[in-house]
Amino acid sequence: MIKLKRAYEKAAKEDGIRILVDRLWPRGVSKAKLKLAGWEKEVAPSTALRKWFGHDPARWAAFQKRYAAELKKQPALIRKLRAQSHGKTLTLVYGAKDIKHNQAVVLKRVLAGR
């Protein structure tokens, strides 16, 4: 099972394995508070794509396609994350304010094979 959670929400036991999937560390949040099993910067959108998207919902459809294309170039990392979610709960932690339009939503779909 793969879940999504903002970095600013309290960590919970039900989160299972918590992985930060942002390229940048969330502002104002300590490492202790996040309670992460890992930080996969490489799985985050490239800096150019992140800046282009700017969390603009009007660019969401194009962002999803571009980010999915970036993820296809990292099969080993995708396999690693899928392995972590096999039989366990994996929570993808992200810092974006918009819970519907962010990279973790796309990454979850890719990991689920959709």
Number of domains in the chain: 1
> Which residue in the block uniquely carries the two structure tokens 């080993």?
76
pLDDT, residue 5, reads 97
pLDDT, residue 114, reads 63
pLDDT by residue (tens digit) across 90-106?
Answer: 999 999 999 999 999 99
Q: Reduced to 3 states, what is the DSSP secondary structure of residue 90? A: strand
Which tokens belong to 38? 């890992």
Whole-model pTM: value is 0.92
Is the predicted pLDDT of residue 49 greater than 90, yes or no? yes
pLDDT, residue 62, reads 98
Strand ranges of the sheet holding 38-39, from the earlier edge strand across to the other edge: 2-6, 90-94, 17-20, 38-39
Share of the chain above pLDDT 70, in %: 99
pLDDT by residue (tens digit) across 1-19?
Answer: 899 999 999 999 999 999 9
Kindly give the residue spans of alpha helices, DSSP state H, lying in the chain. 31-34, 47-53, 60-72, 75-85, 103-111
pLDDT, residue 87, reads 85
Which tokens belong to 81? 């994350």
List the domain range (segments joined by +) for residue 16: 2-111
